[in-house]
């Protein structure tokens, strides 16, 4: 699922009714989940965190900004925190299935709407910045709200969106896109804060002050402190002592975990601690973490053990939690700590059924789930079998030359399996949308036209899902071919079954594409889809036939 996080900061931290009014606007948007509301009395500021699908998160942000514009009067606002508007800042953060470019687009679209509909000047910052000097939020905030009217008169500080007209009630809003910030602590077997900070100085990007032989801080010609850079980019760190735990910690903020992930810093902290006679006992996650950061750690530690990282996500997360010692000072619950787990669609799910429950549901007199869902399930089983064959090959004597090929298959098969499992539900959901569209009223000409459009779009959706399953089935059978060619000889029959299951998935999806096409009026769409389906089916059959030849040759020789 495509998910983004949004973290708007509002210039109100004391009036609970105003805060609740803003939050209600966010909660009212479907496909959005509120994660946290953090008001500060002295700062007179509230930080709200929510996640949702991209379009829903953008809509929730707009409604919240609009409500803040009504509820907050910046002419009377006082607080300790820097700010320039009722909604001071509103960043979008990619969580899963979303690129930074998409978040930048969300920021730009939201900014255009805020400027155009609400009359609030908008500055774009971080990854959405249109000028280098505006990447830094602090630079945009210089002068704060009190200096904003004069600042807008300076052509160099014309807003990125909207005219340079001062809005005395709402001020201005800074909207942007940034990476997820991970707050993380590494635990040491000491209470000495200085030792923890010594390690932090080596880890963090800003490093430490350079000192001469006498221990004095070295200054440059302008009197500025000369710095020795630390080891890791996008990392901030300090050492501190936590009385509640009775241990010193290296407190780390990862401003871009894709550049430097937590497990890399953890491993280096272990080495540096050892040099100081210390031991890292584990680590602690503060707040939430993107699932991918834990998957990266799981793959890393399995690789160090000489094992295949091509295992289910749940096993990668378990490996990461154990390897990083995330249970050291408090229990680590993936369902509470992984941000994607906070947004799981409610309602019935075929994927959460037992095998017997699914088979029973399938056997009833309702048309869904049906062949499309079964086709997707066959594809998932195909990918899972190929991963099994690859994992049974990795590390086995005599298969050293194909190690990388097998690891690649195992890793590639896991997300393919997960996508096809999701398609089991998606196919049924697509069929249900067709049925919902067919039940729409058509009493008036307008209603009839709306119904026709809805039925057309629903039928297209019901066609595209099995088309995607067919495309994935081709990939699944291709994986089974490599597994049959190079994998463990004792599992060649499993690779053969993977190919058969993948071929069944593809043919089943192909049939579902064909049966839906006559219900669509868009002839160009129909022609394009039919040609694509035919091409994919031919590729599928070629791959499946190649696997069959490999199996015949292998089994006859045994």
Regarding whether 358 and 276 lie in a shared domain, the answer is: no
Question: Which residue, of 177, 192, 212, is where some domain finishes?
Answer: 177
Q: Is 423 a catalytic residue?
A: no
Whether 415 and 492 map to the same domain: the answer is yes
The residues near 261 (Cβ < 8 Å, ≥ 6 apart) are: 254, 293, 296, 297
449 pLDDT higher than 80: yes
Which tens digit of pLDDT belongs to each residue from 404-438? 999 999 999 999 999 999 999 999 999 999 999 99
Residue 219: band (very low, low, confident or very high) from pLDDT cuts 50, 70, 90: confident
- Residue 144 and residue 15 in one domain: yes
pLDDT of residue 196: 96
Instruction: Quickly tell me which residue has 């497990």 as its tokens.
Output: 263
Chain mean position to CA 30: 19
pLDDT of residue 346: 65
- Write the pLDDT tens digit of every residue in 21-57: 999 999 999 999 999 999 988 889 999 999 999 999 9
Please state, in angstroms and as integers, the Cα–Cα distance from residue 205 to each residue in 180, 201, 241, following that order: 17, 8, 21
| Mean pLDDT score, 470-499 | 97
Q: Specify whether the backbone of 223 is left (phi greater than 0), alpha (psi in -120 to 50) or beta.
A: left
Please check whether residue 439 is in contact with residue 465, taking contact to mean a CB–CB distance below 8 angstroms.
no
Return the pLDDT at 81: 87
Q: Is the dihedral of CA 283, 287, 288, 289 positive or negative?
A: negative
pLDDT at 344 over 80: no
Catalytic residue among 423, 425, 427, 494: 427
Look at residue 374 and tell me whether its pLDDT is greater than 90. Answer: yes
CB-based contact 269:263 (threshold 8 Å): no
The per-residue pLDDT for 444 is: 94
Does one domain contain both 414 and 456? yes
Residues 170 and 191 in one domain: no
Q: Residues 111-137: what's their mean pLDDT?
A: 96
Mean pLDDT of the chain: 94
Q: Is the pLDDT of residue 516 over 80?
A: yes
Look at the block and give the residue holding tokens 């209600």: 24
pLDDT at 155 over 70: yes
pLDDT number for residue 349: 87
Q: Which of 342, 368, 392 is the last residue of a domain?
A: 342
Does the structure show a pLDDT above 70 at 345? no
557: confidence class by pLDDT, cuts 50, 70, 90: confident
Tokens read off for 375: 């086709």
Q: Give the residue-averaged pLDDT of 516-521.
A: 95
Omega cis (within 30) before 336: no
Tell me: pLDDT of 546 over 80.
yes
pLDDT attached to residue 215: 83
- Cα distance between residue 170 and residue 65, in whole Å: 10
What pLDDT score does 218 carry?
A: 85
Question: Based on the domain organization, do 245 and 280 belong to the same domain?
Answer: yes
Q: Decide if 36 is catalytic.
A: no
Question: For the chain, what percent of residues have pLDDT higher than 90?
Answer: 88
Q: Please tell me the predicted confidence (pLDDT) of residue 226.
A: 84
Q: Which two tokens stand for residue 295?
A: 């998957």
Span 198-219, mean pLDDT?
90
pLDDT in tens, 62-103: 999 999 999 999 999 998 888 999 999 999 999 999 999 999
* pLDDT classification of 368: cutoffs 50, 70, 90: confident
> Does one domain contain both 89 and 233?
no
**CATH (domain of 103):** 3.30.990.10
Query: Is residue 497 located within the same domain as residue 546?
Result: yes
Whole-model pTM: value is 0.84
> What's the total number of domains in the chain?
3
pLDDT > 70? residue 270: yes
Identify the active-site residue in 77, 81, 341, 403.
81
- Specify the DSSP element, H or E, that contains 512: helix 492-516
Band (pLDDT 50/70/90 cuts) for residue 356 is very high
8 Å CB contact between 543 and 478: yes
Task: Check which CATH number belongs to the domain holding 374 and give it.
Answer: 1.20.120.680
> How wide is the angle at C-alpha 525 spanned by C-alphas 520 and 529, nearest 5°?
100
Same domain, 323 and 363: no
Is 245 in a helix, a strand, or coil? coil
**Does residue 360 have a pLDDT over 90?**
yes
Choice among 144-153, 206-215, 406-415, 424-433 with the minimum mean pLDDT: 206-215
Structure confidence at residue 128 (pLDDT): 97
For residues 282 and 387, membership in a common domain is answered with no
**Higher per-residue confidence, 519 vs 287:** 519
Q: Of 289, 315, 342, which one is at a domain's C-terminal end?
A: 342
Contacts of 543 (CB under 8 A, 6+ apart): 474, 477, 478, 480, 481, 499
> Are 405 and 479 in a shared domain?
yes
Whose tokens are 């550049």? That residue is 259
Mean pLDDT of 540-555: 94
Residue range 232-263, pLDDT digits in tens: 999 999 999 999 899 999 999 999 999 999 99
| Residue 329, pLDDT above cutoff 80 | yes
Cβ within 8 Å of residue 22, ≥6 positions away: 10, 12, 46, 48, 64, 67, 68, 71
Looking up residue 302, the CATH number of its domain turns out to be: 3.30.70.670
Same-domain check for residues 159 and 212: no
Where do runs of H (alpha helix) occur along 253-402?
262-275, 291-304, 313-324, 334-337, 355-362, 371-393
Range of the domain at 246: 182-342
């Amino acid at each position: 699922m495509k998910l983004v996080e949004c973290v708007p900061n509002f210039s109100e931290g004391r009036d609970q009714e105003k805060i609740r009014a803003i939050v209600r606007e966010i909660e009212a948007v479907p496909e959005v989940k509120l994660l946290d509301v953090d008001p500060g009395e002295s700062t007179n500021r509230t930080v709200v965190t929510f996640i949702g699908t991209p379009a829903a998160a953008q809509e929730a942000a707009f409604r919240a900004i609009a409500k803040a514009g009504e509820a907050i009067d910046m002419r009377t606002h006082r607080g300790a925190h820097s700010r320039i508007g009722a909604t001071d800042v509103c960043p979008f953060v990619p969580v899963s299935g979303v690129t930074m470019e998409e978040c930048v687009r969300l920021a730009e679209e939201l900014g255009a709407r805020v400027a155009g509909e609400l009359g609030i000047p908008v500055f774009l910052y971080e990854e959405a910045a249109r000028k280098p000097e505006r990447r830094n939020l602090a630079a945009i905030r210089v002068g704060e709200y009190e200096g904003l009217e004069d600042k807008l008169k300076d052509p160099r500080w014309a807003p990125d969106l909207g005219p340079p007209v001062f809005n005395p009630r709402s001020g201005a809003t800074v909207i942007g896109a940034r990476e997820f910030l991970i707050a993380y602590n590494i635990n040491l077997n000491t209470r000495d804060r200085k030792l923890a900070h010594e390690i932090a100085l080596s880890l963090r990007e800003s490093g430490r002050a350079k000192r001469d032989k006498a221990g004095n801080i070295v200054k440059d010609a302008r009197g500025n402190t000369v710095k020795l850079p630390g080891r890791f980019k996008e990392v901030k760190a300090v050492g501190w002592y936590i009385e509640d735990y009775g241990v010193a910690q290296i407190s780390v903020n990862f401003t871009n975990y894709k550049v430097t992930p937590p497990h890399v810093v953890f491993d280096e902290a272990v080495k540096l601690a050892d040099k100081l006679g210390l031991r890292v006992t584990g680590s602690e996650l503060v707040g939430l973490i993107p699932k991918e950061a834990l998957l990266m750690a799981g793959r890393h530690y399995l690789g160090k053990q000489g094992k295949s990282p091509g295992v289910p996500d749940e096993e990668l997360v378990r490996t990461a939690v154990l390897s990083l010692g995330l249970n050291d000072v408090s229990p680590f619950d993936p369902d509470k700590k992984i941000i994607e787990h906070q947004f799981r669609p409610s309602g019935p799910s075929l994927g959460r059924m037992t095998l017997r429950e699914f088979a029973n549901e399938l056997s009833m007199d309702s048309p869904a789930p049906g062949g499309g869902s079964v086709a997707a399930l066959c594809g998932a089983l195909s990918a899972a079998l190929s991963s099994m064959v690859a994992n049974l090959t990795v590390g086995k004597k005599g298969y050293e030359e194909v190690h990388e090929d097998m690891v690649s298959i195992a890793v590639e098969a896991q997300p393919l399996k997960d996508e096809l499992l999701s398609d089991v539900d998606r196919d049924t959901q697509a069929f249900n949308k067709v049925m919902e569209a067919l039940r729409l009223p058509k009493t008036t000409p307008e209603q009839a036209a709306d119904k026709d459009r809805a039925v057309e779009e629903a039928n297209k959706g019901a066609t595209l899902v099995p088309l995607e399953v067919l495309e994935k089935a081709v990939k699944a059978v291709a994986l089974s071919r490599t597994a049959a060619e190079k994998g463990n000889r004792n599992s060649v029959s499993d690779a053969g079954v993977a190919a058969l299951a993948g071929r069944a998935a593809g043919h089943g999806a192909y049939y579902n594409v064909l049966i839906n096409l006559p219900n669509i009026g868009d002839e160009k769409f129909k022609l394009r889809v039919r040609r694509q389906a035919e091409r994919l089916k031919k590729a599928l059959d070629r791959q499946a036939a190649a696997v069959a030849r490999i199996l015949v040759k292998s089994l006859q020789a045994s």
